[in-house]
Amino acid sequence: MDKKYSTLGKHLIADLYDCENVALLDDEAGLRKLVADAIKISKAHLVDMNSHKYKPQGVTVTAIIEESDSSIHTYPESAYASINFYTCGIQTEPERGMELIIKTLKPKKVESYGIERGNKKDMIISQIPTKKKANPFGFSLLLDLYDCNPKKPMTDLGQAYDFLDTLPGKINMEKQAPPFIFRSDEKKYPELAGFSGWVPLIESGIQFHSIDPKKFITVDVYSCKEFSTDTVIKEIKKVYNPKDIDDQFLYRGIDFK
């Protein structure tokens, strides 16, 4: 494999059905603590956290960690939660954090995926429902961008911020707050020098991570409302001009019974 694609990452995705701990699904403070505990047990390092309590019910919690990000989206009325846990490098154990979340929420059924990000082409996740009983609870677009050649340097903070700030409006989403973005610790992780950031949406959120030495970027868009994947990819090409894109689109919360 070409060294320029050696940007190893683990991405765990889980859909939790018929959760017995329904009260926690609508407890914003409790879910923030659960996500923080899951990050800690995974040997990852929390940088910042954002959460939103929906009316009449439901919560989104998104955490940026030094190693990438973690998020949870809940639908108490359906006893359902969707979980995302993405970490770069080999020092973390996101499986332990996912296990803690599942154990705490006590679902009767779990649909889960383990994805290798950034180290091979043609990212594929198998998701073939035998019977779709209801509309999806969410929509998830995962993008790995290789050999990026933006007009401005990869290290340009304004470029990354503006991308996160303007993309929601172009896919008809509403921001909860301005983007949060930070530079990774280049002394601690020189091979992962780049930006990590997210913009919280009323509909869920967008995560962004770059690795400057590899000219590599990941962008993940999760929403409870359908959006144009073509528009997302068009905007990415306009700003970051990647030579290759691996993409995967998932319907989240499909009941496979």
- Residue 195: inside a domain, yes or no? yes
- Average pLDDT of the residues of the chain: 86
User: Which residue in the block uniquely carries the two structure tokens 């609508």?
Assistant: 26
Q: Catalytic pick from 68, 184, 210, 223? A: 68
- Residue 246: inside a domain, yes or no? yes
- Residue 128: inside a domain, yes or no? no
Q: How long is the chain?
A: 257
- Residue 148: inside a domain, yes or no? yes
Q: Catalytic pick from 51, 71, 88, 210? A: 88
For the question of residue 68 being annotated catalytic, the response is yes
Sheet holding 80-88, edge to edge: 46-53, 59-65, 68-75, 80-88, 9-17, 109-117
Whether the pLDDT of residue 216 is over 60: the answer is yes
Please report the sign of the dihedral spanned by the C-alpha atoms of residue 191, residue 218, residue 31, residue 182.
positive
- Residue 77: inside a domain, yes or no? yes
Percent of the residues in the chain that have a pLDDT greater than 90, as a whole number: 52
The whole-angstrom separation of Cα 140 and Cα 75 is 16
202: closest CA among 175, 226, 242? 175
Mean pLDDT on 36-64? 90
Domain that holds residue 74: 3-120+137-252
pLDDT of residue 119: 67
Is 192 or 159 the better-scoring residue by pLDDT?
Answer: 159
The whole-angstrom separation of Cα 251 and Cα 51 is 22
- Residue 160: inside a domain, yes or no? yes
Number of domains in the chain: 1
pLDDT of residue 133: 53
The whole-angstrom separation of Cα 166 and Cα 110 is 35
Task: Specify the pTM.
Answer: 0.81
Whether the pLDDT of residue 153 is over 90: the answer is yes
For the question of residue 73 being annotated catalytic, the response is yes
- Residue 125: inside a domain, yes or no? no
For residue 168, the domain's CATH number is 3.60.90.10
For the question of residue 148 being annotated catalytic, the response is no
- Residue 129: inside a domain, yes or no? no
Mean pLDDT on 27-45? 95
Q: Are strands 80-88 and 9-17 parallel, antiparallel or unpaired?
A: antiparallel
Q: Catalytic pick from 11, 52, 73, 209? A: 73
Sorted by sequence, the CB contacts under 8 Å of residue 129 that are 6+ apart come out as: 254, 255, 256
pLDDT of residue 20: 97
- The pair of structure tokens assigned to 21 is 């701990």
